[in-house]
Amino acid sequence: MNDLVVIKNNLPVISTFDLFSKMGYREHRKLKLVISSNIDAFNDLGFLPLERAKPTSATGGRPVESYLLNEDHFILLVLLAKNSPESVTLKIRVSKEFKRMKQTLANIAAQQHDPDRQKIRADGKAIYHQKSDVIKNFVEYAKSQGSTSAELYYSNLARMENNALFFIEAKYKNLREIMTIRQLMQVATADQAVERALQEGMDKGLHCKECFVLAKERVIAFAEIIGKSQLHDLALEVKKEEE
């Protein structure tokens, strides 16, 4: 069961679009009307942003506009909205998710302030920037060989590294911000392997695709030695503690 509460801009929030049917409303606009009719009360509990998202239906249509509620907004909405048999169960579920997401943010903040991790992260950034400079040159190298999609090498190389080193079960804004110290050291080594492979390939005049394959082979060989690891999912750890 997917979480209804998500983290946006470092704050746990829940979308009214994900709530309306679960609260017994047939239309999203009717749940939004509860909020707009009491907008001053909701604004007193904090900033109430609107999110516009493309419709998920194949036929398209107008973008869906949803309120993003913080925990206090959600509690007020439950008090004002119509009662339904599912309301109590939903409130308990969402309250637990808010608690877990807040703990997740606290855990991430604590991890990021660890002095040892900060040093490893800083060293890793320096290595990453060196790799980025080589990739920039490599992209120009690929263009000179006639590649019309050379810019994709930035994302393709990053995806290749992450898939080789980690089991990733969710989407994250910045993978390196939630990695353990050990994982940061591993990805820094992989960055160096990519940097050197690309540079060697260019020095030998290899085709850009061959350079990419060489970098991939080096990273996979390294991953086979150290083994893939589960990305450090702090939200999942908190959920397990609850259970």
pLDDT in tens, the chain (243 residues): 678 888 887 788 999 999 998 988 899 999 999 999 999 999 999 999 998 876 555 455 678 899 999 999 999 999 898 877 777 788 889 999 998 888 877 777 777 677 887 888 888 899 999 999 999 999 999 999 999 999 999 999 999 999 999 987 656 667 887 788 889 999 999 999 999 999 999 999 999 999 999 999 999 999 999 999 887 554 444 344 444
Of 89, 111, 133, which residue sits at a domain end? Answer: 111
pLDDT confidence of residue 67: 95
Of 96, 111, 126, which residue sits at a domain end? Answer: 111
pLDDT confidence of residue 56: 54
- Residue 29's alpha-carbon distances to 26, 64, 79, 236, in angstroms, are 9, 10, 18, 33
Same domain (yes/no): 138, 238: yes
Same domain (yes/no): 163, 237: yes
Range(s) of the domain holding residue 66 = 5-111
Q: How far is residue 139's CA from residue 4's CA, in Å, rounded to a whole number?
A: 40
CB atoms within 10 A of CB 100: 21
Of 60, 87, 111, which residue sits at a domain end? Answer: 111
Pairing of β 50-53 and β 64-69:
antiparallel
Same domain (yes/no): 64, 126: no
Same domain (yes/no): 95, 151: no
Q: pTM for the whole thing?
A: 0.58
Same domain (yes/no): 207, 139: yes
Same domain (yes/no): 66, 101: yes
Please count the structural domains in the chain.
2
CB atoms within 10 A of CB 174: 7
**Which residue from 91, 61, 75, 73 is spatially nearest to 36, judged by alpha carbons?**
73
pLDDT confidence of residue 121: 83
Dihedrals phi, psi of 74, to nearest 5 degrees: -65, -45
With contact defined as beta carbons under 8 Å apart, do 80 and 38 qualify? yes
Q: How far is residue 179's CA from residue 239's CA, in Å, rounded to a whole number?
A: 18
Which alpha helices (DSSP H) does 10-86 contain, by range? 28-36, 39-43, 71-80
Same domain (yes/no): 56, 130: no
Same domain (yes/no): 81, 133: no
Same domain (yes/no): 118, 235: yes
Find tokens 């709530």 and name the residue.
Answer: 19
Same domain (yes/no): 14, 91: yes
DSSP code string of 190-224: HHHHHHHHHHHHHHTT--HHHHHHHHHHHHHHHHH
Q: How far is residue 156's CA from residue 216's CA, in Å, rounded to a whole number?
A: 10
Same domain (yes/no): 237, 161: yes
Same domain (yes/no): 103, 119: no
Print burial letters for 39-78: b (CB count within 10 Å at least 16), e (below 16).
Answer: eeebeeeeebeeeeeeeeeeeeeeeeebbbbbbebbbbbb
